[in-house]
Structure 1
Amino acid sequence: MPEGHTLHRLALLHQRRYAGAPVAVLSPQGRFATEASTLDGRVLERAEAHGKHLLHVYGPDLVVHIHLGLYGTFREQPLPVEPPRGQVRMRLVGPTHWTDLRGPNACRLRTEAEIDALLARLGPDPLRPDADPERAWARISRSRTAIAALLLDQSVVAGAGNVYRAEVLFRHGIHPLLPGRDLGRARWRELWADLVDLMREGVRTGRIDTVLPEHDPAVTGRQPRQDPHGGEVYVYRRAGMPCLLCGTPVAMAELVGRKLYWCPTCQPEA
């Protein structure tokens, strides 16, 4: 599932290419046809992201809510448009570009009240300037739940996914099963600040890189990471491989249905 930086990149792209002008909205697949007919020809006022949710705002009660889920993708192309390929849920055509949305978990037309209710259920998003990390800390500081589980709970922190969760905990030497209430406010503030920096870099580059410059393959001489997700990481999807810092095999377990990666030496149990 795409992490929050991907949705923010899409929001910036759609804001630049489509916002401020009338757009054509279609649903070749038919599942969004009624909503598309309502929006067709209207001006897209803005595109923005909250966590893993993308919003196309046409007016107070005309907001398209998109959640890509596991399989959703956008295909972006310059004009002219081409015939639809596959099951296209929504096609957006602007002055210079067009995009097709396929396979999203959600693509619905919502009212402003419905969007407000949705956002009220989300925790602070490290990529939004209005994010308040103290809201997340209020939940974390009272919880016996493992910090690794809390970081994936979108009602605690919105936008962070499995990669950022594993990597930010490694970078701060925090065992993933540490109860949230045992983390401490100072460590939380450091972790949050690092998450903000890492995710902003992800927005800038379109990939997740978490290794420090001194641990980059060009410096250490190791082979670059070969993974469809791209990016250089410390522990994510490196189970059984030596830790880049200490050589200990990276551990893997399951936590709330997701694979968890950590270094037993660099992230010792308290």
Structure 2
Amino acid sequence: MTSSLHESRILRALAFTDGSFALIGVLVALHAHSLAIWLDALFSLLCALMIAFESSLVSRLGEPDSRQRPNGLAACEPLLVTLKGLVLMLICLLTAGKSVHSIWQGGHSTQELPLIAYGVFGMLLCGSLSWWLGGMARRLRSPILATEQHYFRFDALISLGVTLAFVISSLLQQSAWSWLAAYIDPMLSLVMVLITLPVALKVSRQGLWELLQLPADQHWQGEIERQILATLDAKERACIEPRLIKQGRRLRIQLHANPRNASWDSQQVTRLCQKVRQATEHCAPHLSVEWVISSP
């Protein structure tokens, strides 16, 4: 199974998991009257929607006909990243406005127990997914999964902050400073905005910069192509066409074999892919090599 199929299946599972977590967050926010949980739930929902788009995009990026439109599909990933950052900035600004208004009005009461339970659940879920995604990203050499690992780690840290804040709020309600408990939720929302807004700005800037940088550096691509051709013998060059496919943050090497010219068994294909990967390792480390049977 190719890495793009692995990525697509993992992303679909992540979209379902994150979407379910966001739905739980919305229900908890409605029940407990928490602005902070609203922000966390909307962040998770936004991530789930973008992951769902990425899951369909990953499988299409591997299509052979992307050679005729090398930057059309590749532009989708940075465009989605840019939109994700812009929408997240809008959510942060709206949450900041509501939080400031709540503080001005003297705060508001919340129900701490469901909020603490939600924070603990989110911390365990997102922390576990972040750890698992780190291993899968290294194994599949996937920058997409590495990016999602960053978001789930970030969400786990937010859930940790939510848990600690509402534990403090619960303790305050049983003390002489119980009036301070009403300010915990809007203050926590502002802190989360201050943490999330720089991330949203960074994501938007990176996505826009990547769009401006398409296509990849032609000299670098030419060097990779020369290394691939140099490592193939005359027979291999006669029946294999190497292609570089631009996919957002990365390139993929595809070896297109014409079935009319030669037949290849799995061991020959594996040896050839390894030989090409070793030949390009010094100028393009971690670049994946895929075998594609061209249509007769």
Question: What TM-score do the two structures reach when normalised by structure 1?
Answer: 0.32
Judging by fraction of residues, say which structure has more strand. 1
Structure of greater relative contact order (alpha carbons < 8 Å, 6+ residues apart)? 2
- Structure with greater Cα Rg: 2
Judging by fraction of residues, say which structure has more helix. 2
Question: What TM-score do the two structures reach when normalised by structure 2?
Answer: 0.30
